[in-house]
């Protein structure tokens, strides 16, 4: 461990990358967890994933995407990253893990750096190489993935102060937790979709009923109705509360 | 006096009416929509390469209605032979089927209704002896020597006009010359009969119902029977059984892989009880002028070996090369109005310049490929209109026409090539004969008419690649052909590096020098820092002392 480390925040990910085992220890010791840098890395991860789909050379573009769609890439990069963070935090706090959400987030982001660099290198290589030279691309991607996985294991171990087997076990369980989180998310989204469809069908119904009204007026009426509804509920609740209070007071007084 | 405006209006309206009338006359829509596939494998609309010219029935030929015809063949002398499978004649109640022979304009030449065995007396005698000795079944003898056909399903004509007919229910293939007797009824002067092989190689429990027949240049007889998966049966000219030819491979499905895994674990008895994985039997074939045999497999569930081009050793020449695979028929299985459609290729025909026509029983479509397996046109369909079919049985081509035999409508549909079709054919022929530069013109014309025509881009790319114009070739190959782009890019990269070698060399040298200089400067800085730190430490230690 080097105690005389005095690096600016943006240099830390590269330092950690070059020191897979003690880098995270230094980070922990120096309390140099920087959320801004982590978010920049996640954003870069997303941008590089987009670039991978758009800029990979034709010879190595095996995705065969005719129409570009950004939503799957958002899910594959950003959503996946945050589910990992949340899942890992939710699990490991229950099992003596010392990591806070912020520390886990930063460590995971820093561990992604080699993977992102590998992707960039591959995008460049895929525009320069022939099909027969694809071994280079495979080599780069394997090496960087391996590197990232090692960093991730080391980072998780350090942030939770676990032993290596325990880290590995909890990483696997985290993946299961991610699956659960994603299933719940999908459920939530589909539920909200139903709510949306319900509201929208009422709106269209009203549109047909009051066809003399402008749609904008109708929306205003709709919002007004919603506000009135909320107001009624709130006032009813406050009245109910007051009534309860009064009852309590009466009880106290009788005592 | 009518104003000028009114005159102009009248003239304009008259012109418009005339134009509408003209288009109404010239506009002949096909009952099917032309389409083709792009690089992604998605179907996209395209122009029709073939349109219906005429539909010919038995009455048009002048031989009475056809009844479930199942095969058609066009000989080298441009005569058309139709195997009229379920025809029931007036000669005998036992007869079923005949061979109708017409010229290329579908004018009747002859209709073979019975056979004459007088020239093969020796063979007849042998068969009779075998029957008397008890080695030959009496019913089989009756079938094999029957003077009438019984459901002939295959016909082939050798270059000396000898007709080979797969007489399905009579369990034989007869070879004969067409003749006419005194009363004008056609008959066949039989020269040879090929019957069930007696050798042990042929499983004697199997049925022997020849469905298609083919002759190669050495006059070997190839017979397809439905009951074997080992390929076509090959007979020598003299009628000796020589073995099998062109068996399909077993498709690597999940089940096959699982079975291979279980075989590692199971005991011998269990393995014997296991269901065997057998390939799908071949269903039809054709031979081209270079003596290559093309086989097709009529199946819904298999992707392997749908079309094979076999050399004389039985090896498939159309094999997967590199990253590009061959797919025949429709790429996708389609579900439409309660029915699933997926291609079942039932017949193959090799036309001029090695053009391959495949006939799809399921959708009634004809898929036309060049001799290099590039999909050119898709036409036809199912239905009752002209140009659509119910049960397609055979496809043949002659010149610019494609003939399709429908076994349910009992008719032959003649497709003629459109102008677009002619241009595509010209381009592909020029290209495949090596005249790359000449093919650029036709290919550009194709693109003018249908900018979605995938192979035009590939053809243009190849043409420019051949002229070492790598950049243009790359433009044409981009998202059209990975293999072609690879070649073009290889050339372009080589040229680029060669032209800019000095620049690259300078950049590399400068980079190396920069790295060396920067690292030495940083090293010195670090050393300085460390020296200062050491000094400070030492001073501190001194103070403490």
Print the SS3 string covering B35-102: EEECCCCCEEECCCCEEEEEEEEHHHHCCCCCCCEEEEEECCCCCEEEEECCCCCCCCCCCECEEEEE
- Residue B28 is predicted with a pLDDT of 54
Q: Is the ipTM of this complex over 0.85?
A: no
- What is the dihedral angle through the alpha carbons of B214, B215, B220, B223, rounded to the nearest 10 degrees? 10
Q: CB–CB of A59 and B482 under 8 A?
A: yes
Q: Which residues 6+ apart lie within 8 Å of B527 measured at CB?
A: none
Residue of A nearest to B487 (CA): A130
Residues of chain B found within 8 Å of residue A59, distances taken between Cβ atoms: 482, 485-486, 489
Q: CB–CB of B493 and A66 under 8 A?
A: no
> What is the sign of the dihedral through the CA atoms of B409, B414, B419 and B423?
positive
Q: Which ranges in B163-286 belong to alpha helices (H)?
A: 254-265, 268-273
- Residue A105 is predicted with a pLDDT of 95
- Residue among B322, B484, B485, B500 with most chain A CBs within 10 A, to mutate: B485
- Residue among B474, B489, B530 with most chain A CBs within 10 A, to mutate: B489
Q: How far apart are CA B65 and CA B407, in angstroms?
A: 12
What are the backbone angles phi and psi of residue A197, rounded to the nearest 5°?
A: -60, -40
Q: CB–CB of A131 and B482 under 8 A?
A: yes
Q: Is any Cβ of chain A less than 8 angstroms from the Cβ of B331?
A: no
- Residue B323 is predicted with a pLDDT of 46
- Residue A8 is predicted with a pLDDT of 87
| Tokens 């007088």 sit on residue | B118
Q: Return the number of other C-beta atoms located less than 10 Å from residue B125's C-beta.
A: 10
Q: Tell me the per-residue pLDDT of A139-168, one tens digit each, with 9 for 90 and over.
A: 999 999 999 999 999 999 999 999 999 999
- Residue B320 is predicted with a pLDDT of 63
pLDDT, average across residues A58-65: 86
- Residue B328 is predicted with a pLDDT of 83
Whether A73 shows a pLDDT value over 80: the answer reads yes
Instruction: Report domain extents, chain A.
Output: 9-186, 210-254
Query: Across the interface, which of B42, B479, B489 has its CB nearest the CB of A130?
Result: B489
The helix (H) or strand (E) run that includes residue B21 is helix B4-26
Q: Tell me the per-residue pLDDT of A97-127, one tens digit each, with 9 for 90 and over.
A: 898 999 999 999 999 999 999 999 999 999 9
- Residue B20 is predicted with a pLDDT of 56
Q: What is the mean pLDDT of chain A?
A: 91
pLDDT, average across residues A85-108: 93
Q: Tell me the per-residue pLDDT of B190-238, one tens digit each, with 9 for 90 and over.
A: 999 999 888 888 888 888 899 999 999 889 999 999 888 888 999 998 8
- Residue B204 is predicted with a pLDDT of 81
Q: How far apart are CA B329 and CA B342, in angstroms?
A: 8
Q: Is any Cβ of chain A less than 8 angstroms from the Cβ of B323?
A: yes
Residues of chain B with pLDDT under 50: 23-27, 322-323
């Amino acid at each position: 461990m080097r105690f005389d480390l005095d690096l600016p925040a943006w240099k830390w990910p590269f330092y950690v990358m070059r020191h897979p085992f003690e880098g995270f220890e230094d980070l922990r010791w120096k309390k140099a967890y920087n959320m801004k840098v982590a978010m920049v890395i996640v954003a870069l991860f997303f941008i590089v994933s987009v670039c991978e789909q758009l800029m990979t050379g034709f010879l190595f573009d095996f995705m065969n995407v005719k129409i570009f769609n950004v939503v799957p890439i958002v899910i594959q990069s950003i959503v996946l990253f945050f589910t990992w963070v949340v899942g890992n935090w939710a699990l490991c706090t229950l099992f003596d893990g010392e990591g806070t959400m912020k520390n886990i987030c930063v460590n995971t982001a820093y561990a992604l750096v080699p993977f992102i660099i590998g992707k960039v290198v591959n995008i460049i290589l895929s525009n320069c190489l022939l099909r027969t030279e694809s071994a280079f691309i495979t080599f780069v991607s394997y090496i960087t993935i391996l590197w990232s996985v090692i960093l991730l294991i080391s980072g998780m171990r350090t942030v939770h102060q676990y032993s290596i087997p325990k880290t590995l076990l909890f990483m696997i369980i985290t993946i299961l937790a991610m699956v659960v989180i994603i299933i719940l998310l999908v459920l939530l989204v589909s539920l909200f979709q139903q709510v949306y469809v319900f509201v929208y069908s009422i709106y269209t119904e009203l549109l047909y009923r009051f066809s003399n009204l402008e749609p904008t007026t109708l929306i205003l009426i709709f919002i007004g109705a919603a506000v009135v509804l909320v107001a009624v509920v709130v006032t009813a609740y406050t009245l109910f509360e007051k009534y309860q209070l009064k009852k309590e007071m009466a009880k106290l007084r009788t005592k | 006096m009518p104003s000028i405006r009114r005159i102009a209006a009248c003239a304009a309206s008259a012109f418009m009416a005339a134009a509408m009338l003209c288009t109404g006359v010239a506009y002949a829509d096909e009952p099917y929509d032309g389409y083709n596939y792009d690089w992604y494998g998605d179907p996209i609309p395209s122009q029709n390469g073939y349109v219906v010219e005429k539909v010919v029935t038995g009455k048009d030929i002048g031989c009475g209605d056809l009844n479930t015809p199942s095969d058609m063949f066009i000989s080298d002398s441009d005569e058309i032979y139709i195997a009229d499978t379920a025809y029931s004649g007036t000669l005998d109640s036992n007869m079923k089927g005949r061979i109708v022979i017409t010229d290329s304009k579908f004018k009747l030449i002859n209709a073979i209704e019975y056979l004459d065995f007088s020239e093969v007396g020796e063979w007849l005698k042998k068969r009779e002896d075998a029957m008397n000795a008890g080695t030959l079944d009496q019913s089989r003898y009756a079938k094999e020597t029957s003077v009438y056909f019984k459901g002939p399903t295959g016909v082939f004509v050798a270059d000396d006009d000898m007709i080979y007919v797969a007489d399905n229910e009579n369990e034989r293939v007869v070879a004969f010359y067409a003749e006419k007797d005194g009363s004008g009824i056609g008959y066949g002067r039989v020269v040879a009969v090929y019957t069930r092989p007696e050798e042990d190689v042929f499983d004697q429990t199997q049925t022997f119902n020849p469905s298609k027949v083919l002759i190669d240049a050495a006059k070997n007889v190839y017979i397809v029977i439905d009951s074997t998966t080992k390929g076509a049966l090959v007979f020598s000219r003299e009628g000796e059984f020589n073995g099998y030819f062109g068996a399909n491979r077993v498709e690597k499905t999940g089940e096959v892989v699982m079975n291979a895994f279980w075989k590692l674990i199971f005991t011998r008895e269990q393995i014997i009880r296991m269901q065997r994985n057998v390939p799908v039997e071949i269903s039809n074939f054709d031979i081209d002028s270079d003596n290559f045999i093309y086989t097709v497999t009529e199946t819904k569930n298999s992707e392997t070996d749908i079309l094979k081009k076999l050399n004389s050793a039985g090896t498939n020449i159309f094999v997967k090369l590199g990253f590009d695979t061959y797919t025949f028929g429709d790429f996708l299985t389609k579900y439409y109005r309660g029915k699933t459609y997926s291609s079942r290729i039932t017949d193959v025909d090799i036309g001029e310049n090695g053009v391959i026509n495949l006939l799809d029983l399921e959708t009634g479509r004809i898929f036309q490929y060049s001799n290099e397996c590039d999909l050119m046109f898709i036409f036809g369909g199912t239905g009752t209109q002209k140009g659509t079919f119910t049960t397609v049985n055979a496809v043949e081509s002659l010149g610019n026409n494609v003939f399709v035999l429908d076994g349910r409508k009992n008719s032959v549909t003649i497709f003629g090539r459109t102008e677009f079709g002619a241009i595509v054919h010209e381009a592909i022929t020029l290209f495949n004969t090596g005249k790359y530069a000449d093919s650029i013109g036709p290919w550009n014309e194709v693109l003018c008419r249908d900018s979605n025509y995938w192979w035009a881009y590939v053809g243009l790319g190849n043409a420019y690649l051949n002229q070492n114009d790598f950049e243009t070739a790359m433009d044409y190959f981009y998202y059209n052909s990975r293999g072609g782009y690879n070649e073009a890019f290889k050339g372009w990269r080589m040229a680029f590096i060669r032209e800019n070698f000095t620049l690259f060399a300078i950049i590399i040298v400068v980079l190396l020098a920069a790295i060396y200089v920067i690292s030495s400067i940083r090293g010195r800085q670090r050393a300085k820092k460390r020296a200062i730190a050491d000094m400070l430490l030492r001073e501190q230690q001194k103070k403490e002392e």
